[in-house]
Amino acid sequence: MKRRAKKTDGNQSTIVDGLRAHGVSVRVTSMVGDGFADAVCGYHGLTALLEIKMPLPTMTSLKGGRRGGKRLLMAEELAARDPLEDLTPAEKKFHAEWQGQPIAIVRSLQEALAVFGLD
C-alpha cells in the first residue's frame, strides 16, 4: 500500500522555530504518519509529544461571523470543545493507545511554550 505524505499544519514551522529559539530540542515527526504526533520535544529533562493544529477561527479573529463557509466559534464554545475533536481517526487512535505522558495538542507558540512552563 502506497503511503501519502502527511499534510502539515501551516503554523508548524512557526511553533517549531519558536520552541527552538527558547532552547527546546525539537524533532519534527509529522512525516511518520499513522497518527503519530507532529513533534517530539525535550526541555530540561521533560520529553513531550506535540500534536500541532491550526488555531480555531473565533468571533474576535474575523468580522462577519463566517470564514470559508464555516461558522466562527464564540469564546464559550471554544472553552467547551473537546480538544480531541479536530484529530483525524488515526490521531485519535494513537492518542487513545499511547501509554506515555499525554500528548499535548497545541495551536500556537504560546500553547507550545506552556507545555514546558515557558509561557
Please check whether residue 36 lies inside any domain of the structure. yes
Instruction: Tell me whether residue 103 is in a domain.
Output: yes
* Contact call for residues 42 and 101 (beta carbons, < 8 A): no
The whole model's pTM is what? Answer: 0.76
Is 57's pLDDT higher than 90?
no
pLDDT in tens, 43-56: 999 999 999 998 87
- The domain tally of the chain equals 1
87 in a structural domain:
yes
Residue at 5 is within a domain: no
Sequence-separated (6 or more) residues with CB below 8 Å from residue 94 = 34, 35, 36, 37, 103
**Quick check: is 59 in a domain?**
yes
Domain range for 54 is: 12-115
pLDDT digits (tens, 9 = 90+) for 101-113: 999 999 999 999 9
Give the CATH number for residue 81.
Answer: 3.40.1350
Task: Indicate if the pLDDT at residue 58 is higher than 60.
Answer: no
Whether 3 is in a domain gets the answer: no
